[in-house]
């Protein structure tokens, strides 16, 4: 029984509870990398930087900071995809409006 208590005390993560918001740190990094490729790359790079910082903070046991950095990474991932979708939608719309304006001018 004492050996089990010593083993639990010597384990570095035993004293800390898991982060309040469950987060798969590897999945967050994959989403950030995907947002670089499939989204707006500058926002995706920032998301990847924040995801790596969140993972490092989580490994060192600073869970509050890890949750903060992970939230920032998620916001940049969503912004990257939103900008990409806006460009995909607005590009053809602007071309259509331009051709319409030219047709009306003639």
pLDDT in tens, 56-89: 998 898 888 889 999 999 999 999 999 999 999 9
pLDDT at 30 (0 to 100):
85
pLDDT tens-digit readout, 41-64: 888 899 999 999 998 998 898 888
Confidence of residue 20 (pLDDT cuts 50, 70, 90): very low
pLDDT at 22 (0 to 100):
56
Provide the mean pLDDT of the chain.
Answer: 80
pLDDT at 38 (0 to 100):
84
pLDDT at 101 over 90: yes
Chain-centroid distance, C-alpha 72: 7
The structure's pTM equals 0.67
Written in H, E and C, the secondary structure of the chain is: CHHHHHHHHHCCCCCCCCCCCCCCHHHHHHHHHHHHHHCCHHHHHHHHHHHHHHHHHHHHCCHHHHHHHHHHHHHHHHHHHHHHHHHHHHHHHHHHHHHHHHHHHC
pLDDT at 35 (0 to 100):
86
Residue 67 to residue 103: CA distance in whole angstroms: 53
Cβ–Cβ contacts within 10 Å for residue 47, how many?
30
């Amino acid at each position: 029984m004492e050996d089990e208590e010593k083993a639990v005390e010597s384990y570095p993560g035993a004293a800390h509870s898991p982060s309040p918001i469950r987060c798969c740190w590897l999945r967050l990094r994959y989403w950030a990398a995907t947002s670089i490729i499939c989204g707006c790359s500058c926002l995706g790079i920032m998301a990847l930087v924040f995801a790596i910082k969140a993972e490092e903070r989580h490994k060192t046991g600073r869970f509050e900071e890890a949750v903060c950095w992970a939230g920032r990474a998620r916001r940049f991932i969503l912004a990257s995809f939103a900008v990409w979708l806006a460009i995909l939608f607005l590009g053809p719309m602007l071309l259509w409006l331009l051709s319409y304006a030219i047709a009306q001018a003639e």
